[in-house]
Amino acid sequence: MRTIVSPQKPKSLARRIHLEFTKIYLFVGLGILLQSCVEIRQTEETAKPEIAGATDFARKRKSTPVLMVGDSLTVGGFGEALQAYLLQRFGSNNVAVYASCGSSPEHWMRSGPKFITKCGYREQTPYTTVLYDFQNGRRPQHALTPKLEDLIEKYHPETVIVQLGTNWMDGFAADSRSELNYGQILDHFVAAIRSEPKTVSKIIWITPPDSSRYSKTVEMRVKNLIMAAAERHSFQIIDSSRMTHYVPGRSGGDGVHYNSAAAKEWANRVTRQLDGMLQ
């Protein structure tokens, strides 16, 4: 009987071809996986939110950089005059001004609520100029109020000027919140300004000016809260109530906001005090 032995070479060749293709698939698959990881990392890095116009703000400064934040009074004529003063004194590369109509201190902190203003917004930085205000009866574009910690982290200002507190007067008039709570908000607000170690060396708070809408008692309660916080945290005060007197029809029309002439007069008195403080 004759025994036939099948040749082994074709079977061995097939196995080697299979192994070679397996290596290729593994190599290609590993390359795709590594590329995906790189793309995911790049996406995460570029997705980090940025504050418009803040690039190289601190590095390019020639003098002390200043950050100012405020409410509708800074959106309007008072803020326009203060902004012009700061730009003239420190230069456009050294000043950032942000103002959000209707805002109060809690709206500017990361721990506070997100606040979208619907009645006006100002932003002046070395690279951006934004002003949303009423025009021909039209309401301004909505804008998100930035957070202090983000502004401090990006601009590294040495001086922070604050013009806030006016919108608390509605709450005080309704007595909806205890003064202890307002005081704690101010403590957190100052902590937010000083969130970056060895950055801010000076805080100047411009208290609310006189109004005809709120009682003198309410105005005094808000001012006293800010002054008490100034004592606790060692910052400076400019007392606007001592340099303003709201006359309905002459100062403005709503009892709170000053017209162009009255706002400029108030700003001129404030800047005279700032001249000595910003040495």
3-state secondary structure of 68: strand
- CATH homologous superfamily of domain 66-277? SGNH hydrolase (3.40.50.1110)
- Tens of pLDDT, residues 148-207: 999 999 999 999 999 999 999 988 766 656 788 999 999 999 999 999 888 999 999 999
Q: Is the pTM of this model over 0.85?
A: no
- Tens of pLDDT, residues 30-45: 444 434 443 333 333 3
- Tens of pLDDT, residues 74-113: 999 999 999 999 999 999 999 999 999 999 999 999 999 9
Residue 2's region, left for phi above 0, alpha for psi from -120 to 50, else beta, is beta
- CA 22 distance to own-chain centroid: 56
The encoded tokens of residue 129 equal 């100029």
In 10 A of CB 196, how many CB atoms?
Answer: 15
H or E stretch covering 121: strand 121-124
